[in-house]
Structure 1
């Protein structure tokens, strides 16, 4: 506990006292109802984070002006009194766990989608909020005054709903940021040009909100302290702008970036823990106000160091608390080794919400609502589960089965557990992924009824000797190698210069030790794996070419990673050949074809990254043999179909459904409804 004395110090802002320094910043979920109201599942999601010890939860942005100010497919709304009751239910629920509750209010401006709002979006000027976005129309002064009033009315509802604080969103390419930023604001009236003029609209919003909430209610302002785009606000600019906004603001939530640099807002995987705390420090030192910093903070020691050194007063942990709602309590109870850390993959959270309009999910946490409640369910009879494959999918299935009381065996052919996730983490920019298999291994070690057999092949004789009731096949996937002339004769052979991703990862240390500057590298395949390989060699000064059959690279990537990778390709001037096929493999060259033109592409090293294929050739035999003996056989994860880690994690937890199917759990008694 003494190691983290700063994390567990309370903090009082006006009349709000936060019990510790870990907060959940606002992060959209797509959990709300279509009408913008909050449902029970949504409340349960936030309650899990309150139960886990989070000091302050800032609920995701709520729309102050509908429909013009809305973003997302199912965004919370606070533009009408009818939304107060459910929000009040939320604050009641959070308060009973000792957590303080705030809510962020917002107008999307040009970030609104025309097809959703039924109108042309509005903004400071006619500049889209992102490359390729809809062209907005500039707001008239009377409309600006109307939106200021919308903010004021919404603030009144925030107080009525029982929140302890309010946050105004003035960053991330939303409306107030569109007035603050010179990349969006080209106005020549009193709302454009100088720092003071660009700050005028947000200043009016702050003053109107203070008028409604009174003198004792904390106001937080979220800003993009550096937009990381040419011509945009820098940290120095924001420090000047905040001089016009500081009065009546109690908390500065110091974020970064705009839509076109979103990888610095929803941090990409390779950014260090707490990398942007220097921005919060600059704001704190100038204005002497409470500051929040965010940015891939996963390690308790990093959070403690930021606080101890005075860089910030509060640590915002959004995706980290999606991954592990019990982060605070685990640190408090000296259970750091059992933290289920976010790996910053951005697939189930930002990827689902921004690009796919789905409700958020999580790669490492298969249940965002139930938490550990499943552990309270225990099997009513002796059940033996045999899991084949010790990757993250197999580990999740084995741990879950053991945690509900099954006698469980995990069989892994290799010497160590972790599977493809552990292998991919050998790439320097993907090292954060290692946190997940390491957590799964530690979780497995604590289960006395889970036996792990490594260096063991899951023969029918071995599996049968364990007397299974359920067999889970999770044998993963292997690189896909199509029948291209010369490929199978050369790839991964001794003294060959042509590698699969598996072979590259095996020799990654040797490659890192080499002088790679100027080496010619050819990568076939423009998906996630191919781009990882391109990134590795490009950052080491190699001359890299990429060959992809489709019209564009990066298919299937989450929104954040795709923007990051497209930026990387541009920055390192990678030679990207789309609509180009590999037709023949030779010792030091690829024969490629674009339309009717063929070409020899010479290289020092060539890499085949054409995706993965399921490794499941034993499954039919297992099914035929054991189903005749009434043993349930299921095939999950990449061995069912090569996909993402998140899919395997969810399917691993679905062992609970298989246990239900065989009648392993007690059937809960039906309770009679109590008449009102």
Structure 2
């Protein structure tokens, strides 16, 4: 890592290395928009994590604010800004403030006085994300908003923020003025490109006038909206025609959130948009921060070595592991972000707080853990994610931990989850947890059944049952007449379907659809059909559903909804749906209709008779998503009775 951990500068902002933690709306703000204790605890955990700067985010006024967002438009915010800056500075880390206005991409909110705050935009065109039609900004609102940006920048400068970053990306207000698709105005603020750039230009000039020539200002842009409204050439034109000294650097991301091109999910290749950063760097001569899916030190170093950017930005990797940067420098394994968006982006869009599906401590730094009365010997049965995370947390408390698993390898269902396209990085999570077992001196007993004799020999003080789940078999007439496997068996490679051409998958949830993706990718000559009983397939995929459904359509996979299998015959099935019965050729039927808890027979009765305290965790309690499973592990290990909102 010859460049990543060397210093650099953006204007007068001196940075100790090339890592910048990017802006994320966390939803942690106090009810009045102030920075509070939850922010302090969250950012304190990250400020000593090795990055050069942390980017906070706050709205310049009430209209531009989202639910539970920090704000910058009143004097009451000064103290919180100073406190969080002092906290971050005390750990040798700089503070950047991202000046935000949601534009049309928000729901109606309430101001501090109870007044309704409607989304504002250049034109009354609804957001495809929030569906609400914004109000067209008046001349007075445009002028007031420019002043609000300038005042917010001054407030940041006066209260210890080292640099500001102005949001003109991702489909928020400034970028909405730039785009032909969202700016239909016929006055001086719309029409030709120069008119559409007028508002963001005025904002930047007002900020520079307010903060002075020496204060660092960064502009964050999308390379284009990726919808046809503007492109990277327009952005370079915009930057190069700003008055000299208006900005000191540029953060370059991909497109808008609503673009038909994935922006931040696991489908995006590592550093997939770094080429845009390279062009901006070359054509403007300004320092550039590259971002989006720069999720490992190796990728970051490559971006720098190839001259794509001067700095690298990451956001969600620091949600997954607060010490991502410093661990990378030391060559230590870190908890890798899976870009699943489940705990972060999908929750924030719903107006919830930011968590992490794979790190249940994220967003819960302020929770007071209840310690054990004394050190104990803990037995964990099962080596899936719930089992390994339980072992990690219990060992970190100083307890002696033994993990027993019937499997030869650690990982449980994670090994299956890593098989579909784009999901291989889950294997890195398995390696990370395996490293944590060694680091925390967890005794591993692989290929061993935790029967009564083993438990009596180990003499544990407490047991966690984390034995996972098994696939559920549906009751279908004639199921024995057809070649039939579980999706899990196919993904693991236990069952070979390479000779099968007419494949029917029963179950259109994430497992069924990802199995279809997996099979379609391995042999494009197959005829693959997915049968789903409900009106909508892939409901548990959340924000990545549209990508998966698009991939399946492109691969020729047919998804039949509101349909069930009536009965099976040799190499064919009869389905029943809205249009009546239909026969489909099927030389193999793959089942993906859910799972049920898997618990060793008689184990609970034995533990009760022996008087050994036990807790059932993860899918062994009830099959759910990994985010819910790990959150419950976190609460159980720390003796907390209540589980918060983790959906």
Q: Fold conserved (TM > 0.5)?
A: yes
Match of 2:573 among 563, 587, 590: 590
Match of 1:548 among 527, 532, 538: 532
Aligned to 2:539, the other structure's residue is in SS state coil
Structure-1 separation of matches of 2:224 and 2:505: 34
CA contact (8 A) 2:281 2:308 kept: yes
Structure-1 separation of matches of 2:587 and 2:618: 35
Q: 1:332 and 1:509, CA in 2 relative to 1: closer, same or farther beyond 3 A?
A: farther
CA RMSD of aligned residues (A): 2.6
CA contact (8 A) 2:42 2:365 kept: no
Structure-2 separation of matches of 1:402 and 1:656: 10
Deviation at 1:97, TM superposition (A): 0.6
* 2:412 maps to 1:415: no
* 2:629 maps to 1:648: yes
Aligned to 2:638, the other structure's residue is in SS state helix
Where does 1:300-379 land on structure 2 (aligned, <5 Å)?
A: 300-335=297-332, 338-355=333-350, 357-368=351-362
Structure-2 separation of matches of 1:196 and 1:420: 54
Paired residue for 1:627?
608
Structure-2 separation of matches of 1:157 and 1:457: 62
Match of 2:20 among 17, 20, 23: 23
Structure-2 separation of matches of 1:507 and 1:384: 37
Paired residue for 1:668?
none
Q: Which runs of 5+ in 2 are unaligned?
A: 642-647
CA contact (8 A) 2:7 2:18 kept: yes
Structure-2 separation of matches of 1:596 and 1:284: 57
Deviation at 1:303, TM superposition (A): 0.8
Deviation at 1:372, TM superposition (A): 13
Structure-2 separation of matches of 1:588 and 1:234: 52
CA contact (8 A) 2:354 2:363 kept: no
Residue by residue over 1:431-480, the C-alpha shift from the partner in whole angstroms, topping out at 9 and shown as x without a partner, is 111111110011112233x2211111111221121101101000111222
Deviation at 1:571, TM superposition (A): 4.1
CA contact (8 A) 1:397 1:652 kept: yes
TM-score (norm 2): 0.92
Aligned to 1:86, the other structure's residue is in SS state helix
Where does 1:202-241 land on structure 2 (aligned, <5 Å)?
A: 202-229=200-227, 231-241=228-238
Q: 1:106 and 1:508, CA in 2 relative to 1: closer, same or farther beyond 3 A?
A: farther
Structure-2 separation of matches of 1:469 and 1:651: 20
Deviation at 1:529, TM superposition (A): 1.1
Match of 2:511 among 523, 526, 529: 529
Paired residue for 2:452?
460
Aligned to 2:51, the other structure's residue is in SS state coil
Structure-2 separation of matches of 1:263 and 1:374: 41
Where does 1:208-607 land on structure 2 (aligned, <5 Å)?
A: 208-229=206-227, 231-245=228-242, 247=244, 248-261=246-259, 264-265=262-263, 267-335=264-332, 338-355=333-350, 357-368=351-362, 381-448=374-441, 450-487=442-479, 490=482, 496=483, 498-507=484-493, 519-539=501-521, 541=524, 542-559=526-543, 561-572=544-555, 574-595=557-578, 597-607=580-590
Structure-2 separation of matches of 1:429 and 1:191: 42
Deviation at 1:570, TM superposition (A): 4.8
Q: 1:220 and 1:603, CA in 2 relative to 1: closer, same or farther beyond 3 A?
A: farther
Q: 1:610 and 1:288, CA in 2 relative to 1: closer, same or farther beyond 3 A?
A: same
Aligned to 2:80, the other structure's residue is in SS state helix
Structure-1 separation of matches of 2:237 and 2:64: 27
Structure 1 range deviating more: 529-538 or 410-419: 529-538
Q: 1:201 and 1:359, CA in 2 relative to 1: closer, same or farther beyond 3 A?
A: same
Paired residue for 1:65?
61
Deviation at 1:528, TM superposition (A): 1.2
Q: 1:210 and 1:35, CA in 2 relative to 1: closer, same or farther beyond 3 A?
A: same
Structure-2 separation of matches of 1:64 and 1:372: 27
Deviation at 1:280, TM superposition (A): 0.5
CA contact (8 A) 1:195 1:241 kept: no
Deviation at 1:207, TM superposition (A): 0.4
Q: 1:140 and 1:378, CA in 2 relative to 1: closer, same or farther beyond 3 A?
A: closer
Match of 1:85 among 66, 79, 82: 79
Structure 1 range deviating more: 6-15 or 256-265: 256-265
Structure-2 separation of matches of 1:369 and 1:138: 36
Structure-1 separation of matches of 2:349 and 2:209: 34
CA contact (8 A) 1:523 1:609 kept: yes
Deviation at 1:216, TM superposition (A): 0.9
Structure-2 separation of matches of 1:168 and 1:185: 19
Structure 1 range deviating more: 163-172 or 649-658: 649-658
Deviation at 1:51, TM superposition (A): 1.0
Residue by residue over 1:16-67, the C-alpha shift from the partner in whole angstroms, topping out at 9 and shown as x without a partner, is 211111111001111112221111111111121111111111112x11121x
TM-score (norm 1): 0.88
Paired residue for 1:613?
596
Structure-2 separation of matches of 1:568 and 1:634: 40
Paired residue for 2:644?
none
Structure 1 range deviating more: 150-159 or 595-604: 595-604
Deviation at 1:91, TM superposition (A): 0.3
Structure-2 separation of matches of 1:535 and 1:592: 22
Structure-2 separation of matches of 1:111 and 1:39: 25
Structure-1 separation of matches of 2:499 and 2:296: 33
Deviation at 1:556, TM superposition (A): 2.6
Q: 1:33 and 1:255, CA in 2 relative to 1: closer, same or farther beyond 3 A?
A: same
Q: 1:95 and 1:456, CA in 2 relative to 1: closer, same or farther beyond 3 A?
A: same
> Which structure has more helix as a fraction of its residues?
1
Structure-2 separation of matches of 1:180 and 1:368: 35
Deviation at 1:81, TM superposition (A): 1.4
Structure-1 separation of matches of 2:356 and 2:129: 28
Q: Number of matched residues? A: 634
Aligned to 2:165, the other structure's residue is in SS state strand
Q: 1:262 and 1:624, CA in 2 relative to 1: closer, same or farther beyond 3 A?
A: farther
Q: 1:604 and 1:483, CA in 2 relative to 1: closer, same or farther beyond 3 A?
A: closer
Structure-1 separation of matches of 2:495 and 2:581: 35
Structure-1 separation of matches of 2:195 and 2:594: 52
Structure 1 range deviating more: 599-608 or 452-461: 599-608
CA contact (8 A) 2:47 2:93 kept: yes
Structure-2 separation of matches of 1:131 and 1:74: 18
Q: 1:91 and 1:382, CA in 2 relative to 1: closer, same or farther beyond 3 A?
A: closer
Q: 1:625 and 1:606, CA in 2 relative to 1: closer, same or farther beyond 3 A?
A: closer
Q: 1:367 and 1:590, CA in 2 relative to 1: closer, same or farther beyond 3 A?
A: same
* 2:3 maps to 1:6: yes
Structure-2 separation of matches of 1:239 and 1:569: 36
Structure 1 range deviating more: 565-574 or 193-202: 565-574
